Amino acid sequence: MKKRTRNIISAIALVVLLQSANAAETNFILSDSTGIKFNSGKFSEPVLKQKESLSPSIKIPFTQDGTVYFVTEAQVEHTFDATFKSSNNTLNNSITLDLPLFKATAAFDVQNTASVLASAGRFSVSDLTAVILSQSADGIFASFDSPRFTASAYAGFTGLLNARTVSFTDSAGTDLSDNTSSSPYTLADPYTLIMLSCGMPYLVFNQSLSLETLAVFGPNDGKSRIYATVGLNGPLAQSVFYSASTTLGAKNFEEFSNLSMMSVEFYPDFLNSRAVFSAEYASGNNGGLSAFTAFTKSAATLAADEPAHSAILKCGASYSLCPQDKVFCQIGSGVIFKVPGNSAEYSGIQIQGLVKYQPFTDLSISFSIESYLADKKEEDRTSATFFASLAF
């Protein structure tokens, strides 16, 4: 009897799987990136960075409305880096395999105005700032959304990720990525992430309040990291919006640090324009604070030494528009100061521009140029990058 029951259950599962497979959506993205960089103002020593990648993906819905589904994406990437000098040219040629997305998701309406969402597997996750944590991880996520209250919880693990495609740091800020391994897949350091957040949309005068706590625990790290963030966002006037956040970081509930960010966005009624004014402060060893250290490693500026979001103060502005339906243009600039102690030291200014052309939905071509003009010549960098992406 038990065997017959198992056979019936297996047959039903097979029918459901076949029906879902018939409704599956497949996609392939082929991309190419060719860039050239000149560091430290040495235009005679270019650095060539060539990258091609193929990313196949499949999405299998289990319900007619698509609210319960499974999706996965793989990636095969070839990179070729070359540094040309008057002597001792260096070359790096490698293949990387990755599985950046592998998750099951289910969404349900609780009442007419509330919904619940749950996901499990490997997917991208980000904190409120998108600076402290912004990467893929293996984990589970659940959220509740209503017009007046939102809440979410996340628990993740990094030990099965590819260390060649992710980049995060230990409590001292040391980069834990692995770009030297000859293996196409190298296991990353095992860290545990726990994040809890809640929000009150349109709390007063259409202003929204967000609260979030992120905890990072790692083996042999010696110090757990806790981040507590408060965020506000909403309209200031017609077509003018702002967002602001401040984060208190702590290592072992001591060595407190701060990351504060603010941006103001203005949407003129002209060619889908958008103007953004932004500011960021990440504490150094000043004002009784320690140097701020994020978990995900990302460059805070365009300088050649690619500084982290730590001991830095920067202000910037950008403007974008769409002169035609298929063309997007953006230009931006910023002024950067280093704040290692109780005084600010001028670091440099950066300028960047981007033109993107998308003649079809499945084809995208872009060209960008960036330059960092530093107070110290060795931090100068100028780069230009061509990127093309085709989906089929």
Q: Tell me how crowded residue 349 is: count the other CB atoms within 10 A of its CB.
A: 18
DSSP string, 84-114: --SS--EEEEEEEEEEEEEEEEEEEESSSS-
Three-state secondary-structure class, residue 206: coil
Q: Are 82 and 48 in contact (CB under 8 A)?
A: yes
What pLDDT does residue 6 have? 60
Q: Which of 83, 81, 70 is nearest to 26 (CA)?
A: 70
In angstroms, the CA 77 to CA 97 distance is: 6
Mean pLDDT computed over 105-131? 94
For the chain, how long is the longest CA-to-CA vector? 80
User: Binning pLDDT at 50, 70 and 90, where does residue 4 land?
Assistant: low
Mean pLDDT computed over 1-18? 53
What pLDDT does residue 120 have? 98
User: Binning pLDDT at 50, 70 and 90, where does residue 3 land?
Assistant: low
pLDDT tens per residue across span 352-376? 999 999 999 999 999 999 999 999 9
Residue 118 has pLDDT above 60, yes or no: yes
Write down the H helix ranges in 241-280: none
In angstroms, the CA 197 to CA 215 distance is: 12
Which of 166 and 19 is assigned the larger pLDDT? 166
DSSP string, 348-391: EEEEEEEEEEEEETTEEEEEEEEEEEESSGGG-EEEEEEEEEEE
Which of 375 and 222 is assigned the larger pLDDT? 375
Per DSSP, what are the bridge partners of residue 138? 122, 157
What pLDDT does residue 85 have? 78
Mean pLDDT computed over 233-237? 95
pLDDT tens per residue across span 124-152? 999 999 999 999 999 999 999 999 999 99
pLDDT tens per residue across span 40-80? 877 878 999 999 999 999 999 999 888 999 999 999 999 99
Per DSSP, what are the bridge partners of residue 113? none
